[in-house]
Amino acid sequence: MAGKKEEPKKTKAEKSIDERAHEWIAQAQENYSIAITEAREASETTVTPAWSDNYRAQRAFHDKIIRDLSASIENGAKRIADFDSTEDDEKEIRDAVKAMQEERIRYSAWKSRAVAPYQSKAERCIELLESVQRNARNVQEAEPLIWFGVVDVVGKIIAKWPTAHWDSKDGIVTVKEPPAEASQVVNA
């Protein structure tokens, strides 16, 4: 390489907006690539019949217990309000409240162990996309003359990335691929 002059580094102001946006978005794209791969793996698990059946059964069981306990508490409260209660009624309410607390703990533990590892994969992708958009807005607002238009450039770039979503009703992670004409796809 003797004889070739090394070009001096351009300052931020000298670089085009595309170059500047692509520089800092490259790291975000790398992080997102890892996150979307994990979301795809979570999606493969959550779309199975076994997962769906378990998720729905746990939710239905929890909802039924909470409805039954709520009805018991409501009936006891009505008897108390009508001055028609006994110590047994009050004990029934205390027991129902205690059972509700225990069910909430059981359900929360199940969600932490079984659901959160999958749900968090989709949520991580959403957080990363929001972070990239927020960073673009922040730099454009901080230095509008230098970064004018970066929000639009970043928006066009991340529109070409696959997106992950968590469906809390069915307990499913879905990954939506970008349109076929997208020239840049994040893959691991």
Per residue in 18-61, pLDDT tens?
666 677 788 899 999 999 999 999 999 999 999 999 999 999 99
**Residue pair 80/89 in contact by the 8 Å Cβ criterion:** yes
The answer to whether position 60 is within a domain reads: yes
Q: What total number of domains does the chain contain?
A: 1
Q: What are phi and psi of 170, to 5 degrees?
A: -105, -5
Flag whether the pTM goes above 0.85: no
At 83-127, the pLDDT tens digits run 877 888 888 889 999 999 999 999 999 999 999 999 999 999 999
Range of the domain at 144: 16-176
The answer to whether position 42 is within a domain reads: yes
The answer to whether position 182 is within a domain reads: no
The answer to whether position 137 is within a domain reads: yes
The answer to whether position 188 is within a domain reads: no
The 3-state DSSP class for residue 174 equals strand
Residue for token pair 């928006």? 155
Nearest to 118 by CA among 163, 167, 53: 167
The amino acid that residue 154 corresponds to is V
The answer to whether position 109 is within a domain reads: yes
The answer to whether position 2 is within a domain reads: no
Tokens linked to 127: 């957080």
